[in-house]
Structure 1
Amino acid sequence: MTDNVNSVKIARRTSYHHGTLRDALIEAARAVLEERGPDAFSLREAARRAGVSPAAPGHHFGDARGLLTALATVTSRSFGDALEQADVGCDRIARLRAQGIAYVRFALAHRPAFDLIWRRGLVDAEDAELKAANQRAFLILDRVVRGEDAAGASPCEADAAASLAAWAMVHGFAQLALSGVFGAGEGAAERAVDALLPAVLDRLAL
């Protein structure tokens, strides 16, 4: 009987290589974040869901802030990917509309993790990898505002203020959508994005 119990315990243990454990902890952190929100995040719970000891996250991330910073970095990279994938075609205004919609839709699809990117009290904003991921996302938007093509050529004279204005407008729209301003019913926020955001962006003097 004792042998059987021990075999069950061993079977429940999860074996990870160094890299896969790090990824598993980040995904476990994402699950905890989605369920509990950032302010109730638990490092111990993330370890439990990854099937490792409570001390294991410390070897990779140091503490809860380190793990949340890693999750914010991964999320920011995916966010940048979504913006880049939306940047197609040659028409500058159409590119900006498409990228704005991609921005807000990403926020809606990844609410807790997207929110985490901007929570300076919960993540290390000076972390080099997080800063690089956030900068990349901004530069993808900046590229569209300036009208740059894939080769970096820009026929426009838009300055940094124009890019900041576009960012503020799209991010503000995302926050309104996340807050339920456009309706709490299923798909209401997404419909508002498609119907209203292009018209809002057209107000920019670009």
Structure 2
Amino acid sequence: MSKSYHHGSLRDSLLEAGRRQVLEEGAASVTLRGLAKRVGVSHSAPLRHFDDRHALLDAIAAAGFAELIDELESAAQLSSLQARLSQYARAHARFALENGPLLDLMFSARAGDGAAATSAAEFFALGGRLLGERAERAPGPLPYLLAATLEGIGSLVSSGRLPVERVDEVVDEAVAMLLPAVQERLSS
């Protein structure tokens, strides 16, 4: 058994190793048995923390959402809508550039009652707050439109179809296109 397992951090070790594997080889390559081997524990040890591969991937996706939300939170503190939208979009694109396969996993996870679904709901709620929606309501369509736009840009970035040196230009143009629609929606 590995030293980390004895210290009670097997779950964290599996999540960290799983994330690295998602980033290096894609989510399809991740297995409980393979991760057990990577972290140096018996092939059944991961089952103490994850019922199956799906539960492990759900936890990796949830951790990815938590990290993305942390990066995006600073945008919500800015006073102008344009500044919030710009910083949010740039942070999302940067996350995609650095974590493309993880972002793919996060947004391909099925909606349900798992940890990734809860984290995704928090992500969309943050988008709603950023766009000026009231927190007591479920997010309207704008946070989903914003996420879809940024996910599209992120996908282009992570696949190499959008050259890194053009990311800021494309993000700025997306913000310029979305801003009037968001302002109009908020004023009505």
Same fold (TM over 0.5): yes
Counterpart residue number, 1:79 = 68
Counterpart residue number, 1:174 = 154
SS in 1 for 2:20: helix
Native 8 Å contact 1:169 1:201 kept in 2? no
- Cα deviation 1:12-70 (Å, max 9, x = unaligned): 74242574111011111112222321122232221111111110111110111111111
Unaligned stretches of 5+ residues in structure 2: 183-188
Counterpart residue number, 1:64 = 53
Q: What is the TM-score of this pair, normalised by structure 2? A: 0.84
Native 8 Å contact 2:5 2:41 kept in 1? no
**Which is richer in helix?**
2
Distance 1:33 1:168, change over 3 A: closer
Native 8 Å contact 1:32 1:45 kept in 2? no
CA distance, structure 2, for counterparts of residue 31 and residue 166 of structure 1:
28
Q: CA deviation at 1:129?
A: 2.3
Distance 1:193 1:15, change over 3 A: closer
Counterpart residue number, 2:186 = none
Native 8 Å contact 1:28 1:46 kept in 2? yes
Task: Extract structure 1 runs of 4+ deviating beyond 6 A.
Answer: none
- Whether 1:160 and 2:146 are equivalent positions in the alignment is no
- Cα deviation 1:159-195 (Å, max 9, x = unaligned): 8233332222222111122222223xxxxx2x32222
Native 8 Å contact 1:14 1:52 kept in 2? no
My pick for the range that moved more, 33-42 or 88-97, is 33-42
Taking only aligned residues, the RMSD between alpha carbons, in angstroms, comes to: 2.3
- Whether 1:145 and 2:131 are equivalent positions in the alignment is yes
CA distance, structure 1, for counterparts of residue 2 and residue 83 of structure 2:
51
Counterpart residue number, 1:40 = 29
- Cα deviation 1:68-100 (Å, max 9, x = unaligned): 111111111111111112333201111101101
> Which of 43, 49, 59 lines up with 2:38 in the alignment?
49
> Number of matched residues?
178
Unaligned stretches of 5+ residues in structure 1: 1-11, 153-158, 184-188
Counterpart residue number, 1:202 = 176
